[in-house]
Amino acid sequence: MKVIRLDSLESALVELKKLSLAKELKSNGKWEANRVFLHCAQSIDYSISGYPKNKPILIQKTIGRLVLNKFLSQGYMSHNLSDPIPGAPILESQKDFHPALDTLISSIDRFLQWDKKLSPHFVYGEVEKGDYNRIHAMHIADHLSEIDILS
């Protein structure tokens, strides 16, 4: 598994635009590329609209806060890459990844332009926009570590 580090959604867009030029991607994980892209888009969208299921406030203010601070201080995220977002619709695998990649890019653009209050993260609780930007980028990077360009 290759290591990818992204520190902002702006840097994620650069990587994703490279992937958009590919004809075929290979996922070395449990999810096909389109499902990875839709999962990452879901996470970004939920930071705007609200996550479907949240961990208890006590978890968010203790363990969730510790995990968030760990990721932010080390500059990368490592998590179970086949865990769906709790309460989110199940994402179907598709061979053509381009529509899902376009969805992710649109979600990033929407987040970057968003100037209202963001919703609490389902594990981390309240997150400032700059930290959300970084944590979303790290989330994307962690998932991209399993994706290779074939052609």
Closest CA to 57 of 119, 118, 122, 117: 122
Q: How many residues does the chain have?
A: 151
Q: Does 90 map to a domain?
A: no
Confidence at residue 106, expressed as pLDDT on a 0 to 100 scale: 99
The neighbour count for residue 83, using CB atoms within 10 Å, is 8
Q: What is the mean pLDDT of each run of 10 residues along the chain (151 residues)?
A: 94 98 97 98 99 98 98 98 97 95 99 99 99 99 97 94
Q: Which residues contact 1 (CB under 8 A, 6 or more apart)?
A: 28, 145, 146
Confidence at residue 1, expressed as pLDDT on a 0 to 100 scale: 72
Give how many domains the chain has, as a whole number: 1
Q: Does 89 map to a domain?
A: no
Token look-up 């070395």 returns: 28
The residue segments making up the domain with residue 124 are 9-78+95-149
Q: Does 84 map to a domain?
A: no
Confidence at residue 53, expressed as pLDDT on a 0 to 100 scale: 98
| pTM for the model | 0.97
Amino acid at 14: V
Q: Does 100 map to a domain?
A: yes
**Cα dist. 86→16, 42, 56, 97, 122 in Å?**
25, 11, 13, 23, 8
Q: Does 87 map to a domain?
A: no
